[in-house]
């Protein structure tokens, strides 16, 4: 069974958390808070950071799928990759398309 935990923050607190997300390499505020609350347990945050580091090391012009970077990646990691390429959090990467097998393809600029 899964549970949802919610809390309210001010605009100032949100800005602070967004800065910490960026500085510490987390995919989003929710994952940052989860890692801190559970002291790193039950999180894909380290996989996300590994994925981003591998993307940074790719040569320009490389095309890739998430599975090229992380063996048997969880679906949530794919969602974070898609969202953070779209919003520019993962820079110099463009989403190419779905290759017809439900795998999203990307290109390092």
> Is residue 5 included in any domain, yes or no?
no
> Is residue 59 included in any domain, yes or no?
yes
Q: What is the CA radius of gyration of the chain?
A: 15
The SS3 assignment for 22 reads: helix
The end-to-end CA distance of the chain, in Å, is: 41
pTM of the model: 0.82
For tokens 């958390």, the residue is 17
Q: Is the pLDDT of residue 41 over 90?
A: no
> Is residue 47 included in any domain, yes or no?
yes
Q: Specify the pairing of strand 93-98 against strand 104-108.
A: antiparallel
> Is residue 62 included in any domain, yes or no?
yes
Q: What are the tens digits of pLDDT across the range 50-77?
A: 999 999 999 999 999 999 999 999 999 9
Q: How many separate domains does the chain show?
A: 1
> Is residue 93 included in any domain, yes or no?
yes
> Is residue 98 included in any domain, yes or no?
yes
> Is residue 17 included in any domain, yes or no?
yes
- Whether the Cβ atoms of residue 104 and residue 55 lie closer than 8 Å to each other: no
For tokens 């609350």, the residue is 37
Q: What is the pLDDT of residue 42?
A: 74
Q: What is the pLDDT of residue 43?
A: 79
Domain of residue 24 covers: 11-108
> Is residue 4 included in any domain, yes or no?
no
- Whether the Cβ atoms of residue 64 and residue 52 lie closer than 8 Å to each other: no
């Amino acid at each position: 069974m899964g549970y949802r935990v919610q809390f309210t923050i001010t605009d100032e607190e949100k800005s602070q958390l967004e800065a910490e997300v960026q500085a510490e390499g987390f995919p989003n505020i929710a994952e940052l808070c989860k890692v801190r609350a559970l002291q790193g347990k039950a999180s894909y945050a380290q996989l996300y950071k590994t994925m981003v580091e591998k993307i940074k090391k790719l040569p320009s012009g490389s095309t890739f799928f998430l599975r090229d970077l992380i063996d048997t990646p969880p679906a949530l990691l794919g969602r974070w990759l898609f969202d953070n390429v779209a919003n520019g959090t993962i820079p110099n990467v463009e989403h190419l398309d779905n290759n017809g097998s439900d795998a999203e393809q990307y290109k390092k600029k």
